[in-house]
Amino acid sequence: MLVVPTCAIATNGYFMIGYGAKSVGLGGAGAAFPQDRLVGAISPAAMAHVPDGWDGGLRVLAAIRNGSIDCRGLLACDQVVKDRSARDLYLIPNFGWKRQFS
């Protein structure tokens, strides 16, 4: 309790908190409070509560993958096995369109 961390980093892994800027701004509560046409990725029934139109965007995912395993103690390898991703940033386009039929 006497040690205060200087930073805290949390992640959902590759799972998105929300789809679209408005849903991410709500902290992923887009299914409960639909704001845009991208809510169909979370809850298709919520599409009934958004007006006709389209939404588009671009999201940047910083997936810095870096890992190592020391399997020398198990006599499974003779050195530490390391792996690092070739890319750290990924661009993810998103698009939602809704048109209500009669």
User: For residue range 34-69, what is the model confidence (pLDDT) as tens digits?
Assistant: 989 988 888 889 999 999 999 999 988 877 777 888
| Domain assignment present for 40 | yes
Q: How far apart are CA 22 and CA 34, in angstroms?
A: 9
Q: Which pLDDT belongs to residue 12?
A: 67
Q: What is the mean pLDDT of residues 76-95?
A: 85
Q: Which residue reads 């810095």 in tokens?
A: 64
Q: How far apart are CA 66 and CA 54, in angstroms?
A: 37
Joined tokens for residue 90: 């990924």
Q: Is the dihedral of CA 34, 35, 41, 42 positive or negative?
A: negative
| Domain assignment present for 10 | no
User: How many helices (DSSP H) and strands (DSSP E) are in the chain?
Assistant: 1, 4
- Residue 76 is part of which domain span? 21-98
Query: How many folded domains does the chain comprise?
Result: 1
| Domain assignment present for 52 | yes
